[in-house]
A and B are shown apart, each in its own frame.
Chain A
Amino acid sequence: KNQVEQSPQSLIILEGKNCTLQCNYTVSPFSNLRWYKQDTGRGPVSLTIMTFSENTKSNGRYTATLDADTKQSSLHITASQLSDSASYICVVSAQAGTALIFGKGTTLSVSS
């Protein structure tokens, strides 16, 4: 069964600190992996999208990594800001299809 598992479920960090969120998937065949940020009461916003040939992709202070062999991805947030408080969702796309498999998300709280 195609699944996307994220950890931790929630995380609290101090402003200015770094953090890493994890995503493991069992989707096959694999097409691409996406990270979204969802602020409370808003729709998800795309951060990165990576195919199996891409190991790392950055978007400002957000850096996503992908290991297609172990089927793991991580999202690293550098020098966190209060505005980073949100849910971060890992999404995997199966090849040649419109179906996306969404993880349940990691809720990040950044405190001052």
Chain B
Amino acid sequence: DAGITQSPRHKVTETGTPVTLRCHQTENHRYMYWYRQDPGHGLRLIHYSYGVKDTDKGEVSDGYSVSRSKTEDFLLTLESATSSQTSVYFCATGQQTNQPQHFGDGTRLSIL
């Protein structure tokens, strides 16, 4: 496995609060991704990174920001959480874009 650790694994918070999710990898993969998974939808890309301090938006980036200050860490921040951001968030990594991505086990986030 790619050695991906997501933290926290579960979080409950209130609307309007800031939330930061962390993804840590031990495989030195170049690419890192944040997805959300919701019932009735396939996984959707929020943001991705193609190197330290190099990030770009995905399909559903509104309301989210990311940072990657080290190869091994990729942070996802919800500046002011809303109930529509209740979801399961997955981090993934990959060495090249034409190779399989390796996923963490997700963070279940509930915003009340």
Tell me if A89 counts as interface (CB < 8 A to partner B). Answer: yes
Q: How far is the CA of A15 from the CA of B45 in the complex (A)?
A: 35
Q: Within 8 Å CB of B45, what residues of A?
A: 99-100
Closest 6 CB pairs of A and B: A102-B42, A43-B103, A46-B100, A102-B43, A43-B105, A98-B97
Digitize B18-50: 1 where CB-to-A-CB distance is under 8 Å, 0 elsewhere. Answer: 000000000000010100000011111100101
A104 with B50, Cβ < 8 A, contacts A97-B97, A98-B31 known: no
**Docked-complex contact A99 and B41, CB < 8 angstroms:** no
Digitize A92-108: 1 where CB-to-B-CB distance is under 8 Å, 0 elsewhere. Answer: 01000111111111000
Which of B41, B58, B90, B100 is close to A43, meaning CB atoms less than 8 Å apart? B90
- B residues sitting closer than 8 Å to A (CB atoms) are 4, 31, 33, 40-45, 48, 50, 56, 58-59, 90, 92, 97-106
A45 with B103, Cβ < 8 A, contacts A97-B97, A102-B42, A104-B40 known: yes
**Docked-complex contact B48 and A46, CB < 8 angstroms:** no
Tell me if A4 counts as interface (CB < 8 A to partner B). Answer: yes
Residues of A contacting B: mostly: strand
Closest Cβ–Cβ distance, residue A14 to chain B (whole Å): 27
Tell me if A76 counts as interface (CB < 8 A to partner B). Answer: no
**Docked-complex contact B98 and A89, CB < 8 angstroms:** no
Q: How far is the CA of A44 from the CA of B43 in the complex (A)?
A: 10
**Docked-complex contact B90 and A4, CB < 8 angstroms:** no
Tell me if A26 counts as interface (CB < 8 A to partner B). Answer: no
Q: Within 8 Å CB of B106, what residues of A?
A: 41-43
Q: Within 8 Å CB of B92, what residues of A?
A: 43
